[in-house]
Amino acid sequence: MSTPYNEALAGTLIDRSIREKIVLVAVARPGDTDAEVEASLDELSLLVDTAGADEVARMVQRRDAPDHTTYIGKGKAEELKQLCLAVDADTVVFDNELAPAQQFNLEKLLGRTAIDRTAVILDIFGQNAHTQEGKAQVELALLRYRLPRLRRGADAKLSQQRGGVGARFGGGETKIEVDRRRIMRRINKLERDLAALAETRALQRQGRSRSGLASVAIVGYTNAGKSTLLNCLTESGVLVEDRLFATLDPTTRRLALPGGEPVLLSDTVGFIKRLPHGLVESFKGTLEVAALADYLVHVVDASSPDPDGQIEAVRTVLGDIEAAAVPELLVFNKADVDAEAAERLVSCHPGSVAVSGATGAGVDVLLRTIADRLRVLTVVYDLFIPYDRGDILAAVHREGEVVSIGDGETAWTVRARLSDASAGRLEEFVVDEGVNL
Ligand SMILES: Nc1nc2c(ncn2[C@@H]2O[C@H](COP(=O)(O)OP(=O)(O)OP(=O)(O)O)[C@@H](O)[C@H]2O)c(=O)[nH]1
Ligand SMILES: [Mg+2]
């Protein structure tokens, strides 16, 4: 792709030489329990830390509905200003999504940058994108986020003086029309480039499906241990890090399952609660891996405080990317950390398995389970292969699982499990399909 990452325009890279001091703010709605609000703030704190800044204080307000102008109430906003002064905060991060106008009003009132959870996630993605496609996807998401936030006027100085995570998402901007045009042009260019990449990938996929291999995608909440599991399964050395969103670019490896059938196993970008919609939209290309897979291995961190909430969040994103219909195996990982929790989760989710990607415990059962499930997904066919077509018999062995071979007068009679793709290619030799054994 010809588009280099335009850092000046998207402006994602965090200045790690300073660690900004951050105040976290959440508005609790009716129905949100205190524990849920705190857990969400804990996660936001981890996100802020991953982005390279430190939480120094947090504030929660209960409200029926957000305030139109400042999200929190006027009195609370004043209190927040005093808190910021007391702890010398650089930036305020809201756990709720701020409308551009609310962000602008808050910044004016607080005299410092105010951003939301979406901006922090975008910033982390900006730091972690390595391939050209990943960078283009992140840049596109950032620009779509920034466009409605470009502002003319008196606060322009505010965000220009400040460094760090807040400034890049702040409302202030001069030369607004010029910038808006530049950003729109850039968005168009990125959309075109990404569309071209999607076409290339579709061609590659056709090539792969000709290979007849089933594809399995590892999906799951960020930091659940997806890359660790891929490594453990394929010893492929994919980047593993105790950080959120370490993996942004999908990696695909061949994996031999017990019984011999190889499959293509892909790592994917992690999901999170309230993943910004713009980001999901921009990452559609990458997330296609999950939507087009034959089977999903859904990895869950069994030692996390809220595994079921994470499962739900992942399924929400899977729905957004039209992957909800792909069959899924729940895998409770990090069983070495909390064996009891893993056992309890497995008994609550029939058909799931517990593993430790770190120690390898349970991985043999996992591989057998994947092999069994994939076998169920394939269909048994009867084929009639002339003796002079040894190449076809070899293809059936390679692509499927031969159940039996009989010797006829002029041909082999073969019963084999085949994927749809293989069966399509071998159509002229198939005499009976969909036999259920
Ligand atoms: N104790 C223990 N730690 C694990 C296990 N699996 C992964 N980890 C750790 O959990 C952290 C996250 O692992 P990753 O494999 O990078 O997780 P991921 O799901 O790929 O994360 P993202 O790509 O950031 O979404 C790392 O510090 C791993 O070492 C496990 O089974 N047991
Ligand atoms: Mg990863």
336: Cβ below 6 Å to ligand 1?
yes
Which atom of ligand 1 lies nearest, measured to the CA of 359?
A: 31
Strand, helix or coil for residue 117? helix
Alpha-carbon torsion 166, 168, 169, 175, what sign?
positive
Beta bridge partners of 59: 25
118: Cβ below 6 Å to ligand 1?
no
Residue/partner pairs of 384-392 with CB below 8 Å, 24 or more apart: 384/408, 384/411, 384/412, 384/413, 384/414, 384/429, 384/431, 385/411, 385/412, 385/414, 385/429, 386/410, 386/411, 387/411, 387/412, 389/429, 392/426, 392/429
Distance from C-alpha of 140 to C-alpha of 278, rounded to nearest angstrom: 9
Which residue is closest in CA terms to ligand 1's atom 13? 225
Region 66-91: mean pLDDT is 96
246: Cβ below 6 Å to ligand 1?
yes
Region 238-247: mean pLDDT is 71
224: Cβ below 6 Å to ligand 1?
yes
Strand, helix or coil for residue 332? strand
Spacing, Cα 97 to ligand 1 middle (Å): 28
337: Cβ below 6 Å to ligand 1?
yes
342: Cβ below 6 Å to ligand 1?
no
* pLDDT tens per residue across span 357-394: 999 999 999 999 998 888 877 788 999 999 999 999 98
- Position 168 scores a pLDDT of 52
Main-chain dihedrals φ then ψ at residue 358, nearest 5 degrees: -75, -45
Residue/partner pairs of 247-251 with CB below 8 Å, 24 or more apart: 247/128, 248/125, 248/128, 248/129, 248/130, 248/131, 248/134, 248/138, 248/286, 249/129, 249/130, 249/131, 249/133, 249/134, 249/286, 250/286, 250/289
Task: Give yes or no for residue 3 having a pLDDT over 60.
Answer: no
Region 303-325: mean pLDDT is 92
- Position 2 scores a pLDDT of 41
226: Cβ below 6 Å to ligand 1?
yes
223: Cβ below 6 Å to ligand 1?
yes
Task: For residue 178, give both structure tokens.
Answer: 């010029």
Which of 53-57, 140-144, 150-154, 219-223 bottoms out in mean pLDDT, i.e. has the lowest?
A: 150-154
The ligand with the least distance to the CA atom of 299 is: 1
Distance from C-alpha of 397 to C-alpha of 387, rounded to nearest angstrom: 15
91: Cβ below 6 Å to ligand 1?
no
In the chain, the domains with their CATH numbers are 7-177 (3.40.50.11060), 213-375 (3.40.50.300), 378-435 (3.30.70)
Give me the percent of the chain exceeding a pLDDT of 90.
48
Distance from C-alpha of 10 to C-alpha of 183, rounded to nearest angstrom: 9
Give me the percent of the chain exceeding a pLDDT of 70.
86
Reference 78, options 95, 90, 61; nearest CA is 61
Distance from C-alpha of 340 to C-alpha of 350, rounded to nearest angstrom: 16
* pLDDT tens per residue across span 401-434: 788 899 989 999 999 888 777 788 888 999 877 6
Main-chain dihedrals φ then ψ at residue 383, nearest 5 degrees: -125, 155
Q: Helix 176-211 vs helix 284-291: angle between axes, to the nearest 10 degrees?
A: 30
Question: In what side-by-side order are the strands of the sheet with 214-220?
Answer: 252-256, 262-266, 214-220, 295-301, 328-333, 353-354
The ligand with the least distance to the CA atom of 233 is: 1
Which atom of ligand 1 lies nearest, measured to the CA of 270?
A: 25
Region 140-162: mean pLDDT is 66
Strand, helix or coil for residue 419? coil
358: Cβ below 6 Å to ligand 1?
yes
Mean pLDDT, the chain, as a whole number?
A: 84
In single-letter form, the type of residue at position 256 comes to: A
Which residue is closest in CA terms to ligand 1's atom 30? 334
Which of 241, 287, 304 to mutate for ligand 1's pocket (most ligand atoms within 8 Å of CB)? 241
- SS (HEC) of 133-173: HHHHHHHHHHHHHHHHHCECCCCHHHHHHCCHHHHHHCCEC
